[in-house]
Amino acid sequence: MKSLTRTISLQKSAKSITDHNPVMVQRFGADPYALVYDGRVYLYMTGDKPSYNADGSIKENTYGNINTINVVSSDDLVNWTDHGSVYAAGKTGAASWGPNSWAPAAAYKNIDGKDKFFLYFANNGNGIGVLTSDSPVGPFIDEIGGPLISRETPNCAEVTWLFDPAVLMDDDGSAYIYVGGGVPSPDKAANPGTARVCKLGDDMMSLDGDPIAIENVDYLFEDSGINKIDGTYYYSYCSNFNVTPQAASELGFESGEIVTMKSDSPMGPFERCNPVLKNPERFFGRGGNNHHAMFEFNGEYYITYHSRILEEGLDMDGGYRSTNVDKLVLNENNEPSKSAGTRAGVAQLKALNPYEEVKAVTLSNASIGLKTKQYGDVAKKCGSGDMILCDISNGAWTSVSGVDFGTDGAKEIAFTLNVKETNPNGDYRGAIKVCLDSPSGEAVGCAVIANEKADNVEAIAEFTEPVTGEHNVFFVYAGEGYEVYSWIAR
């Protein structure tokens, strides 16, 4: 084992091994929206894509090339499974009529005895599309063949930015969509009048009536949000960057801050409530736009939002965003209240069971350069679904946190992988070290990967003695030319 891995130098990661934010490090993901379904939280994110100048320098993020929606999920809010990137818009996307897919929102509804999933997105600033699927991870299709909301929709032509949807599924089975943003002119910064709400049809793909304005939204910028807590409806948004010092003193919030309003009706009228989250610059030093979603999971409330800490960890500076999750503070009235953004993130909610197959793209952290890609015909065609870990090289590593091996312990871990090419200079393709609690720790086992080009190859790391108890587990890779699909302890 030592002869295979003794020359390995560990590659760097973009975040500390003790940090849980950002939740995904293998690519960017902005404007997060949370859907809780069947014991898991699914996060849908704008697929920020770095662009480069001819000299290799990074371009500023202009959002114009974004036409995918990234999807990850977790049942513990620390280990996140990568489900790929929905090919939502663009010429080869499900909604080929639209060039872009920004700021997704997701919902599901039981229709004719079967759960159906709806993925809403902004076609840049000019309307809202909706895709459907029988699964929260796709494949998604466009059933209506055009926008759900457009400039032709009544009361929407004058909305500066017709984007950033949020969807409420109410207790009685009815659903509502919230959209809009932008400042029409400087003199309207204090009350832009560009927020809209509309009831959705029973099919979730049509409107039940005309959108109406949400009145008196102080310093609205963008980023619709909606939650129902103890019978009260909370509309939330990001304030614009024209909040004066006097207004900040009167209203209690600053520019670029997440703010709430409340009502006893899903369509309002709404009244001022509380600020919730300062601009990411306050917590992390790098600012920009602010985008959030609040959600309940296992009886606790959380807020997901984006920051620029991943690009900082990658030594980039182009306005590319990554998604965080932190606790949402509720005040004595059970209202969303001032919360904080952190690098540490939230505590793991439950231990990971290693005795059930774990996808290799289930990660709490990973070294820079490792990637994931679509696996299988469906995912390759549609962008989301099954994924495999790729771009492996010497010293790369991944981790999963809070793995509970129990009192009897595990004797080995078996990896399922694909060997893509043979090694002309050796008897093996590579190896995977299994380390506990630190990537630089002494390996408890090492799986040697045979030098044979084949799919669904099993490589086994036998432990020197049974591994018991709960540990953070690090997989350190040697060699290249192979991809890892899953692992299981035995």
Per-residue pLDDT reduced to its tens digit, 115-151: 999 999 999 999 999 999 999 999 999 999 999 999 9
Per cent of the chain over pLDDT 70 is 99
Task: Give the dihedral of Cα atoms 293, 296, 301, 306; nearest 10 deg.
Answer: -20
**8-state DSSP, 451:** S
Assigned CATH for 358-489:
2.60.120.260
Asked whether this chain's domains 21-327 and 358-489 adopt the same fold, the reply is: no
Indicate the SS3 state at residue 470. Answer: strand
- Whole-model pTM: value is 0.97
**Band of pLDDT at residue 4, cut at 50, 70 and 90:** low
Active site residue: 31, 142, 257, 311, which one? 31
User: Given a cut of 90, is residue 424 above it in pLDDT?
Assistant: no
Whether 293 and 237 have beta carbons less than 8 Å apart is answered as no
Tokens encoding 485:
């699909």
Please give the C-alpha separations between residue 8 and each of 3, 364, 440, 443, 478, in angstroms, as whole numbers: 10, 22, 10, 13, 7
The per-residue pLDDT for range 228-258, each reduced to its tens digit, is 999 999 999 999 999 999 999 999 999 999 9
269: its two tokens: 């009228």
Which of 76, 164, 222, 326 is catalytic? The answer is: 222
Q: What is the mean pLDDT of residues 307-318?
A: 97
Q: Domain residue spans in the chain?
A: 21-327, 358-489
Name the residue with tokens 């997105």: 121
Does residue 2 register a pLDDT over 80?
no
Task: Please answer whether residues 180 and 221 qualify as being in contact, where contact means their C-beta atoms are separated by less than 8 angstroms.
Answer: no
Is 158 tagged catalytic? Answer: no
Helices (H) and strands (E) in the chain, counts: 5, 30
pLDDT in tens, 46-101: 999 999 999 999 999 989 999 999 999 999 999 999 999 999 999 999 999 999 99
C-alpha dist (Å) from residue 245 to 8, 57, 79, 259, 272: 55, 37, 41, 16, 18
Quick: pLDDT tens for 439-490.
998 899 999 999 989 999 999 999 999 999 999 999 999 999 999 999 999 9
Amino acid at 327: K
What pLDDT, in 10s, does the model give residues 449-463?
999 899 999 999 999
Q: pLDDT at position 1, please?
A: 45
In this predicted structure, the answer to whether residue 327 has a pLDDT above a threshold of 80 is yes
Q: 339-379: per-residue pLDDT in tens?
A: 999 999 999 999 999 999 999 999 999 999 999 999 999 99
Active site residue 31: yes
Q: Which fold has domain 21-327?
A: Tachylectin-2; Chain A (2.115.10)
Closest Cα to residue 222, out of 237, 211, 236, 235? Answer: 237
For tokens 């109410």, name the residue: 170
Residue 6 has pLDDT above 70, yes or no: no
Token pair recorded at residue 291: 């985008």
Q: Is residue 354 within a helix (H) or strand (E), and if so which, with residue range?
A: none
Helices (H), 387-466: none
Q: Compute the chain's Rg from CA coordinates.
A: 23
